[in-house]
A and B are shown apart, each in its own frame.
Chain A
Amino acid sequence: MAEPLIEARDLRLALPDLNARPLFGAAPRVEILKGLSFDVARGRVLGIVGESGSGKSTLGRCLVRLLEPTGGTLRFDGDDITHADTRALKRHRRDLQMIFQDPMSSLNPRHSVLRLVEAPMRLYGVANAEDRAREVLERVQLGGAFARRYPHQLSGGQRQRVGIARALALSPRFILADEIVSGLDVSTQAQIIRLLERLVDEMDLTLAFISHDLSVIRRLCHEVIVLRAGEIVEAGPTAEVFAAPKHPYTAELKAAIPLPDPDAGWLSQP
């Protein structure tokens, strides 16, 4: 079996707890990720699910090394990048891309769509950046006149497509998508999910998809890890985890999702 693209072993992150900082001296450390071990296989989509405060976004930031783990090891493509410094990370940076939750705050309002998508390529001196940008925009169904528009002229779904195009522009080997459909209307959300499903198929992407929405995770992800309070309570192939959750917390999360069927009993179930 092929070696996984990302390998996390006993991954830990502790940060100073600024709320508990004494007047003098160092703040006590609070452990946010408590020894997580999992793989992201090549060409697969890993779902990371959990409630607020579970550490899912923090974990995501460690995976693309925006945060440095304080314990354990993180390997990308066989390389130990746990404590790699800026210079050592440089050759991996373009391979680790991110799509953000709120495109309005991650896109420069003064740049056109074309310029936004070109930007990462210009940074890395990619030849024919403009042609390549148009091609990527075409892929996310924002061809033609969209290139000249500005973020405020786009709908929420279109902005999110720009965010996706930007992440795809450098043909990265790994993409982290952090709650990228949660702010969208249901119809727009369905469009973005379908787009992602297609891109994953066509481009053989390796993706970590962070979401609090189990229904979205079930659709999009091959494997899933369920986080609670910085620990993995359950992991496995998505279909299996959903068919028979082993951990009561997973079952509880699943039972809490209101499916669109009228059912007065749902509220009173334990």
Chain B
Amino acid sequence: MQVQGDKYTIVYHSETATVRCDGMLDLRGKDGYTEISELFTKVLDQIPLPKKIILDIRDLEFLNSSGITTLGGFIIRLRNKGGIQLLIQCANKHSWQLRSMKGLQKLMSEGLELNFE
């Protein structure tokens, strides 16, 4: 599964259950993120669902507020599915990730791990 734009790529690797986000995500509003949101839905609708899903944003240089909202929605739906671990792999070089991912971590107080490198 993959969504690709001029400045970004979102790919889901089913064998490792990893959603990888690269580039710059500055799409406009909820509508701008529809395709990406649909990719997240497909990930969560898999049967059987993996026990652990990885969200790799190490090469995501920029994410705007609509993108944060979309990620928040994905985390809530994943949390509500119950029994699935989420690991978000971040990069220290993108300072916004430290601040914003800690904010999103509050949506899933158990089972969400942040890893910075």
Co-complex (A, B): no
- Give chain B's interface residues, CB within 8 Å of chain A: none
